[in-house]
Amino acid sequence: MNYKNKNLEELGKKINNLNDKDKNIKSSKKESGAGFGFKISTEIIAALVVGVGIGLIVDNYFNTKPIGLIIFFIFGALAGFLNVYRVMRRIEKQR
């Protein structure tokens, strides 16, 4: 009986150790700098692409050659910053 209990205790310790290890691995899992930069840059580029696209379409329809592009390029850039802000906030939340 005593022998059995000892075995079980050892098993319990082993499991606890493994659980701790698992936690350590999870907390130390960090994204690489390049991956992070890539994520941010795609957000900005995607918003800029949409902004420029809308600008060109608006210019085509209303014949306001440079103005639509200029305005929507600026909107696109601002939307890009908004996207980056949201990504950052999501990352902050995860921590």
Partner 1 sequence: MAAKDSPLKQFEINTISNIEIGSYNISFTNSSFAMLITVLVITLFLTLTVNTRSIIPSRMQLISELMYNFIAQLLSDTVGDNGKKYFPFVFTLFMFVLIGNMVGMIPYQFTFTSHIIVTFALAAVVFIGVTILGFVNHGFKFFSFFIIPGVPFYMHPLLIPIEVISYLSRPISLSVRLFANMLAGHTLLKVFAGFVVTMPFFTGAFPLAFIVALTGLEILIAFLQAYVFAILTCLYINDAYHLH
Among 19, 39, 58, 88, binds partner 1 (CB under 8 A): 39
**Local structure of residue 20 (DSSP, 8 states):** H
State how far the Cα of 78 lies from the Cα of 48, in Å rounded to an integer.
9
CA 70 to each of CA 12, 38, 54, 73, 79: distance values in angstroms, whole numbers, following the listed order? 66, 26, 11, 5, 14
Binds partner 1 (CB under 8 A): choice among 59, 68, 69, 79: 79
Does 38 participate in binding partner 1 (rule CB under 8 A)?
A: yes
Q: Give the residues lining the site for partner 1 (CB under 8 A).
A: 35, 38-39, 42-43, 45-47, 49-51, 54, 72, 75-76, 78-80, 82-83, 86, 90
